A and B are shown apart, each in its own frame.
Chain A
Amino acid sequence: MSSDRLPRLLALVPYLMSHPGAEVAEVARLFGLSEKQLIDDLQLVWMCGLPGHTPGDLIDVSWDGGEILIDNADTIARPLKLGVDEASALLVALRMLDELPEFQGRDVLGRVIAKLEQAAAEGTATISSQVHVELGAAPDAHAVITDATRRRRRLSLRYYVPGRDEITPREVDPLRVVLVDGRHYLEGWCYRAEAMRMFRIDRIVEVEVLDVPVDPPAEAEPMDVAEGVFRPSDRDELVELELTPAGRWVAEYYPCEEVTELGEGRLRVTLRARDQSWVVRLALRLGDSGQVVSPASLADQVAATAEEALANYAAAG
């Protein structure tokens, strides 16, 4: 952290100039510091100032009673312009938002982007446009669901579960609409599962907004999606697959517990499967580009199902 200290001080001083009487605890939290570290920063600032360094040249800081007052720091009263990384992080995200139905026909993003580009170091606009995020069209239900979530209305869904190839009816109290890993999800309390669930919005076959206010139980807490949505449970069965180069997409697509290179582009992967029928479907889809190694019973089931399916083609000639 010591190497970020100077940039931090160059933001801290302007913050204190524009927020006279700010409280030690609040400022420490905002800058991600302990109160002790913040005081140490203030003591350092207090030793600095204009050439000459007579008492009249030095920055004057006090924090009596936990309220910070700063004076004689006019030279660095404004923060530094946004760096390329800093401005780009925000600009890329803002341009991504532009793809959401929520922002169609609104000019707010354009206004913020223009202001940020002006606040950034030279050349940032060009560099930031070299990072691009494409989301693909949001599913039709997205706008209705976002609106109902904002108005806190219960939803009645018909939801497709590919693992079981079923469309099931559900009543859900929507809590958030989440975009993660390029997909849109509705997160809410599912009364059928009596648990929090993430629903892929493109698999919602039908949605109806009920005239019922949401009333989720106290344990309905949104999950942390920073590491992805699909998190296998330790109770799920471990399945081992061998993949040819054409089947390597499995390792890119599903979180694997273990991935071993077998040479010539072949892979062995271990993943956790919530239900066996999902694995059978995956193995049938892979066909000649992958096979179940273990458990053996599952490999047998794949072969038997394939044989049954092939009989359809034989019968039809």
Chain B
Amino acid sequence: MSRRKTERLLNLVICLLATHRPLSAEQIRHAVPGYDPDNDEAFQRMFERDKNELREIGIPIEVHKDPWEDDPGYRIPREAYELPEITLEPDEAAVLGLAAQVWQRASLADAAGGALLKLRAGGVRTDLAEGPLELRLHTRDPAFPTLWEAVRDRRVVTFDYRSAGSEAVLTRVVEPWGVVSRYGRWYVVGHDRDRDASRVFRLGRITGRVSPVGRPGAFTVPEGVDLRAMVGYPEQPVERVALVLVRQDTCQGLRHLARAVRTGSDGWDEAEVVFTDPERLAGWIASLGPHAKVVDPPDAREAVIRRLKGAQKKEALR
């Protein structure tokens, strides 16, 4: 943006804020320096662009259509423009400082910094984060910025996606209702248009670019949608108990997490381990190699054996 243009826009903001009565385009043309006094078409184009640019940075321009006048009038209502007076208590200023550093170098960092600057400019006391806590949210997934904008603007997006454990990459068309970070991973939740159902997508499994399609405001988020619940487990998993033998003096981690550990025989101890998913348990026990073995239940035991056989066969596969 050129210096002259910045000057013109700043003068335009001041002009539209200062006026009590809506001003016609022609009045604005005379009041704000920098508009073409001779070429009407050039002025109209420039004025349209200027209005759009002001709206893009969040400046509310009101348009008045008076039935007695041919031309609409414009003004910026002060109450919609101005940051209200805010006073933060010391504890409030401290948590705001803590919140502002959460996005450091992530994609909303500039936005958080901009907010803090406006608050300071408005005379609000904001503290830098002090104390022992340091909180960071990453947004390393390249899809994050586009998806956040699409959620914000309610725009449909399309992207290529590989489901967990799937061989195929499929193109999805999604109305994004929200983005959720769960335990450090980002998901987008929305309505999958082709499947005509709500779906959850992990950002890390999106391959390639996310492209917005169509106009902003293309859909509405259904009322009462619980994004958090959609990303979480669909139902409460059932807890079961496995009997695992562990070699004496090994498997410190498992012993710590076990519900009970008893001394067994032949150099083995018996541990009772609570689990929900037999495959997850099998992965853990297999990783302990010869130091642990599942006795019961059979499904977890078979899953461990399958994994170990897979690991053993590698020589042959190569």
A contacts, CB < 8 Å to B: 2-3, 5-7, 9-12, 14-15, 18, 30-31, 44-45, 47-53, 75-76, 78-90, 92-94, 96-97, 100, 102-103, 108-109, 111-112, 115, 118-119, 121-122, 127, 129-136, 146, 149-150, 160, 162, 165-167, 174-183, 205, 222, 225-228, 245-246, 248-249, 252, 264-265, 280-289, 291-293, 299-300, 302-303, 305-313, 316
Of B232, B256, B284, B311, chain A has the most CB atoms within 10 Å of the CB of B311
Please judge, given known A-B contacts A51-B18, A291-B318, whether A11 and B117 are in contact too, CB under 8 Å: yes
Of A44, A225, A285, chain B has the most CB atoms within 10 Å of the CB of A285
**Are B135 and A179 in touch, CB under 8 angstroms?**
yes
**Are A80 and B118 in touch, CB under 8 angstroms?**
yes
Q: Is B224 an interface residue (CB 8 A)?
A: no
The 8 Å CB contact of A86, one of B32, B114, B245, B313, is: B114
In whole angstroms, how far apart are the Cα atoms of A85 and B144 in the complex?
Answer: 13
Give the residues in chain A near B131, CB-CB below 8 Å.
150
**26 intermolecular pairs with C-beta atoms under 8 Å apart:** A2-B6, A5-B1, A15-B121, A51-B15, A81-B58, A81-B80, A86-B112, A86-B115, A97-B98, A130-B177, A150-B131, A150-B132, A177-B134, A179-B136, A180-B135, A180-B184, A182-B185, A245-B167, A284-B307, A284-B308, A285-B283, A286-B307, A306-B312, A310-B312, A313-B293, A313-B301
Q: State how many angstroms separate the Cβ of A224 from the closest Cβ of chain B.
A: 9
Give the residues in chain A near B95, CB-CB below 8 Å.
94, 97, 103, 108-109, 112
Of B31, B84, B105, B289, chain A has the most CB atoms within 10 Å of the CB of B289
Task: Kindly list 14 other residue pairs between chains A and B, CB separation below 8 angstroms, not including A165-B253, A165-B288, A165-B291.
Answer: A5-B6, A6-B53, A6-B57, A15-B117, A48-B11, A50-B18, A78-B82, A80-B81, A90-B115, A93-B135, A96-B137, A121-B58, A130-B177, A167-B253
**Are B287 and A285 in touch, CB under 8 angstroms?**
yes
**Are B115 and A87 in touch, CB under 8 angstroms?**
yes
Interface positions, chain B 246-298, Cβ under 8 Å from A, are 250-253, 256, 283-284, 286-291, 293, 295
Interface magnitude class on chain B? 35 or more
Give the residues in chain A near B305, CB-CB below 8 Å.
310, 313
Interface positions, chain B 74-128, Cβ under 8 Å from A, are 80-84, 86, 88-89, 91-92, 95-96, 98-100, 102-106, 108-109, 111-112, 114-123
Q: Is B63 an interface residue (CB 8 A)?
A: no
In whole angstroms, how far apart are the Cα atoms of A47 and B32 in the complex?
Answer: 12
Q: State how many angstroms separate the Cβ of B95 from the closest Cβ of chain A.
A: 6
Q: State how many angstroms separate the Cβ of B304 from the closest Cβ of chain A.
A: 8
Please judge, given known A-B contacts A102-B133, A133-B137, A160-B256, whether A3 and B82 are in contact too, CB under 8 Å: no
**Are A226 and B58 in touch, CB under 8 angstroms?**
no
Give the residues in chain A near B84, CB-CB below 8 Å.
81, 118-119
The 8 Å CB contact of A167, one of B100, B245, B256, is: B256
Q: Output the nearest chain B residue to A14 by Cβ-Cβ distance.
A: B121
Give the residues in chain B near A288, CB-CB below 8 Å.
306-307, 309-311, 313
In whole angstroms, how far apart are the Cα atoms of A93 and B5 in the complex?
Answer: 36
**Are B86 and A160 in touch, CB under 8 angstroms?**
no
Q: Is B228 an interface residue (CB 8 A)?
A: yes
**Are A81 and B82 in touch, CB under 8 angstroms?**
yes
**Are B167 and A285 in touch, CB under 8 angstroms?**
no
In whole angstroms, how far apart are the Cα atoms of A161 and B104 in the complex?
Answer: 29
Please judge, given known A-B contacts A15-B120, A31-B117, whether A2 and B228 are in contact too, CB under 8 Å: no
In whole angstroms, how far apart are the Cα atoms of A226 and B17 in the complex?
Answer: 41
Of A10, A80, A135, chain B has the most CB atoms within 10 Å of the CB of A80
Please judge, given known A-B contacts A82-B115, A291-B318, A303-B312, whether A6 and B9 are in contact too, CB under 8 Å: yes
Q: State how many angstroms separate the Cβ of B18 from the closest Cβ of chain A.
A: 5
The total of interchain contacts (Cβ-Cβ below 8 angstroms) comes to 369
Give the residues in chain A near B140, CB-CB below 8 Å.
227-228
**Are A182 and B181 in touch, CB under 8 angstroms?**
yes
In whole angstroms, how far apart are the Cα atoms of A134 and B228 in the complex?
Answer: 8
Q: Is B22 an interface residue (CB 8 A)?
A: no
**Are A130 and B179 in touch, CB under 8 angstroms?**
yes
Please judge, given known A-B contacts A94-B95, A302-B311, A303-B315, whether A165 and B252 are in contact too, CB under 8 Å: yes
In whole angstroms, how far apart are the Cα atoms of A88 and B289 in the complex?
Answer: 48
Interface positions, chain B 35-81, Cβ under 8 Å from A, are 53, 57-60, 80-81
**Are A85 and B152 in touch, CB under 8 angstroms?**
yes
Please judge, given known A-B contacts A82-B118, A309-B293, whether A115 and B99 are in contact too, CB under 8 Å: no
